[in-house]
Amino acid sequence: VDSRKSWIRQPIVVVLGHVDHGKTTLLDKIRGTAVTKKEPGEITQHVGASIVPASVLRKVAEPLKKYFPKVKIEIPGLLFVDTPGHELFSNLRRRGGSVADIAILVVDIMEGFKPQTWESIQILKERKVPFIVAANKIDRIPGWKSNPDQPFLETIRKQSPHIVNRLEELIYRLISQLYEAGFMAERFDRVKDFRTTVAIVPVSAKTGEGVPELLALLTGLVQRFMKKRLVTSDEPGKGVVLEVKEEPGLGTTIDVIIYDGVIHRGDTIVVGGKDKPIVTKVRALLMPRPLQDMRAHEGKFVSVEQVVAATGVKISAPDLDDALAGSPIFVVSSEDKLEEYIKLVREEIESIRIKTDNIGVVVKADTLGTLEAVVEALKRENIPVRLADVGPVSKNDVLEASVSEKQRPEYGVIIVFNVKVLHEAEEYAARENVKIFRHNIIYKLIEDYIGWVKQLREQEK
Ligand code: GDP
Ligand code: MG
């Protein structure tokens, strides 16, 4: 065991927040910073993720030296999961927690908290993911003078006093809303104890103001409080399936975040499938081809021999058609351990699926991660679940819902997230008086259902 090589891996960072508050713009800004400031040859693009290398963190932190002289960069960089939003975050699941080490909660400072902000906080709390708040769009404060890409602590000194006051008021509103959500919060440069207080960093994703502090703070926090969690070694890899994707010429592939250990081409892996765990062999590990190497006859990806944590990688292998996003993936260390890994994966998936004889609602979702998130949201509202599974709504789901419907009409429903309702199921549901709720935003889905239940109760009175 002592011969194992170990290292500190990149922390895995996710971006969450309400629609239009600037998640995509912020990620683009960070990605752009990484590309323009990296050293030649450094790779910043992964599959489903981007790396901000340590060299970039150093350059970005340079102007902050006079404010934070002690920050020394020990991590190899930060790994940002590229597609923001709840759905992908849900798939970053790991038993009792998340593969994400830290999150940025983006809030439009002009708007304050919105429904998905509250929902994001709830999810972060449940998955025990620490977070900082990016108070975005400071450039939209009327009269704000933009100083592109400068630290917040520099640009704030160049604003007139009434703008500074306005900013303070807006930050104070966020502090109150965070308090309502159960968190102490403070502007980042006034935080005394980062273990008990959420840091708010005023930024503009558009002009880049405050982004240096955002990156420096993420770095500082993970180095100070999470180093243990970030230590990994050349043991058999562990990861999570972010997405299952069809690729021309490759068939069904899985995009995976490896958060621990190493995976090699040819390794045997176990991953969760629709009916049972899938055991297969890695045919290829694929990374994005750097833009400058793009040639017409070559594909989007280059094949590599191995990757180490933390990495976003596409895995091509036989038999992945039934793979489930949100499932764990394990490299099998030796053949005699195969059964053990199969059992691990099976148990984990069984812990999310629900099949009971209780009176309750039926839930269908597109991935294990979203299924778990919808079920958790229902549990928060004390709504019982009879059946929860991944896949399209079938006649059998309607049958199950109609059993509930006969005893408790308010539970005789199917709650559908991002999957199809088969035609025959739709017809059958109409006949059986089983109502189907669908929405591609989790809180809206639950809200619609709760609203309908209220209406039902009003009618009964
Ligand atoms: P998302 O839905 O959270 O991913 O939000 P987007 O990144 O798509 O941003 C929504 C809109 O807000 C877009 O029109 C962006 O250009 C704009 N936006 C995002 N960040 C900023 C910012 O810091 N300042 C300004 N002025 N506009 C921004
Ligand atoms: Mg977006």
Is the CB of residue 363 less than 8 Å from the CB of residue 337?
A: no
At 6, is the secondary structure helix, strand, or coil?
strand
The pLDDT value given to residue 138: 98
Other Cβ atoms within 10 Å of 151 Cβ, number: 23
pTM exceeding 0.90? yes
Mean pLDDT throughout 402-410? 96
Q: What is the best residue among 16, 19, 20 to mutate for testing ligand 1's pocket, by most ligand atoms within 8 Å of CB? A: 20
SS3 177: helix
Residue 298: pLDDT above 90?
no
| Mean local confidence (pLDDT), 14-35 | 95
- Read off the amino acid at residue 255: D
Q: Which ligand is nearest to the CA of 214?
A: 1
- 114: number of Cβ within 10 Å: 16
Q: Residue 8: its pLDDT value, please?
A: 96
* For range 335-348, the mean pLDDT: 96
Residue 292 has pLDDT above 80, yes or no: no
| Whether residue 270 has pLDDT greater than 60 | yes
Distance from the CA of 108 to the center of ligand 1, in angstroms?
A: 9
pLDDT (0 to 100) of residue 297: 61
| C-alpha pair distances (Å), 360 with each of 78, 129, 409 | 43, 30, 10
pLDDT of 3 reads: 59
Q: What are the structure tokens assigned to 131, written together?
A: 């977070």
The answer on pLDDT for 85 being more than 80 is no
Q: Is a pLDDT exceeding 60 seen at residue 353?
A: yes
pLDDT of residue 1: 45
**Cis amide leading into 310 (omega within 30):** yes
- Average pLDDT along the chain: 94
Q: How confident is the model at residue 72 (pLDDT cuts 50, 70, 90)?
A: confident
- Provide the 3-class DSSP secondary structure of residue 338: helix
Average pLDDT over residues 232-252: 95
CA–CA distance, 102 with 221 (Å, rounded to integer): 9
Beta bridge partners of residue 263, listed in sequence order:
307
What are the tens digits of pLDDT across the range 431-451? 999 999 999 888 889 999 999
Residues 70 and 61: their CA atoms lie apart, in Å, by: 11
- Position of tokens 């919105």? 114
Ligand closest to Cα of 205 equals 1
Residues with CB under 6 A from ligand 1: 17, 19-25, 84, 136-137, 139-140, 204-206
Residue 310 banded pLDDT, cuts 50, 70, 90: very high
Q: How many residues does the chain have?
A: 461
Question: Confidence band (pLDDT; 50, 70, 90) for 93?
Answer: very high
Name the amino acid, one letter, at 301: F
The mean pLDDT value for 223-230 works out to 94
Looking at all shown ligands, the one closest to residue 87's CA atom is 2
Residue 295 — pLDDT band, cuts 50, 70, 90? low
Q: Separation of 100 CA from ligand 1 center, angstroms?
A: 23
Q: Please state the ipTM of this predicted complex.
A: 0.99
Instruction: Give the model confidence (pLDDT) of 116-130 as tens digits.
Output: 899 899 889 989 999
Nearest-CA residue for ligand 1 atom 24 is 137
Can you read off the two tokens belonging to residue 177?
Answer: 């809303």
pLDDT at 296: 57
Ligand 1 atom 19 nearest Cα: 22
- For residue 88, give Cα distances in angstroms to 17, 61, 373, 450: 13, 29, 11, 25
Per-residue pLDDT, 156 = 98
Residue 379, token pair as written in the block: 């549990």
Cβ atoms of 372 and 443 closer than 8 Å: no
**DSSP reduced 3-state for 52:** strand
Checking if the pLDDT of 24 tops 70, the result is yes
- Say which residues have a Cβ less than 8 Å from residue 136's Cβ, sequence separation at least 6: 21, 22, 26, 106, 107, 108, 109, 203, 204, 205
21 CA distance to ligand 1 middle (Å): 6
Cα–ligand 1 centroid distance for 218 (angstroms) = 21
